[in-house]
Amino acid sequence: MPNKKSRQYDEIYFLNYSNYSDISLYEVGMQRCIPSYSYGPIIRKHYIIHFVLSGHGTLYLNNKPFAVHGQQAFLVPPGAVSIVQADDKDPWYYIWILINGSKAIELLFDTGFSLEQPVYTNLSKIPEIETLLNAFLKNAENELFCIGNLYHLFDKLITSSVNKPALMDGSLKYINTIVNYISVKYSEPIKVQDLADVCGLERCYMTKLFKSATGFSPQEYLISFRMKRARKLLSDSKLPIQHIAYSVGYKDQFSFSKAFRKFNGISPSVYREESVPYGKPLSDIKST
């Protein structure tokens, strides 16, 4: 079952619904903030969307402020420095989800979220929105329901979005090409130039485009993708660590172990030996 905690939050579930190659759900929670409540600065490894149902507050993203009020939502992408602060007189009440995955990137882009435009402005046009969000909390232990509900939620957000990207046939095409290339080729040596070449773009422009749309540099996304695959192999198989290193694109066990420790905070062997509580992936314990 998911692990429910109740610190300063009203309700929170740490999940590990990450057995899908396209989209993962790591956390859902709800909070009625006290006046002036703030959290951060923090840099996350996953995308987190706060759906503000009432009240006011401010999102600071890489030091840039965005005022947010009820019936709006805001995105904090991975790699960005964020602070969220509730209003001192009318603090916000929100429900949040923590997600990642190649399909998640595509859906967020389709919705219109980006570093430059992290606020979704018209939740009021989606009458089902609060029901969909509360469904995550009520059914947190039901993995398939939650994953299906994610798609239902994004369908409503995309359909009602007023911030859909203007260059859907251009930018999204390139982002999808890179994400799909990595998902197929991650076990092989990949250089940033390879990703630029497969898109037919200049390297610096490709990197800027991908970072703006996803919050990751291409190299950061590649490492994150490889680490996710490595953790699953370590947990679900008895393959030697050397074989796992080769399977996720590293030339030897030493370079893999060094990268794994840097990303996860512990070695691959310790990760495998320790019994990680279900619903609490190590990366989330560090980053959320």
Topology (CATH level 3) of domain 3-160: Jelly Rolls (2.60.120)
Judged against a pLDDT cut of 90, whether residue 93 lies above it is answered with yes
pLDDT of res. 166: 53
- State pTM to two decimals: 0.69
CATH 1.10.10.60 residue window(s) in the chain: 168-287
Q: What percent of the chain has pLDDT over 70?
A: 89
Residue 192 DSSP SS3 = helix
pLDDT of res. 236: 85
pLDDT of res. 173: 79
Strands 24-32 and 38-43: unpaired
Architecture of the domain made up of 168-287? Orthogonal Bundle (1.10)
In whole angstroms, give the CA distance from residue 17 to residue 147.
Answer: 8
Judged against a pLDDT cut of 60, whether residue 152 lies above it is answered with yes
Q: Render pLDDT for 37-57 as a digit per residue (tens, 0 to 9).
A: 999 999 888 899 999 999 999
In whole angstroms, give the CA distance from residue 17 to residue 200.
Answer: 35
DSSP E strands in the chain: the ranges are 3-5, 11-17, 24-32, 38-43, 47-54, 56-61, 64-69, 72-76, 81-86, 93-100, 119-120
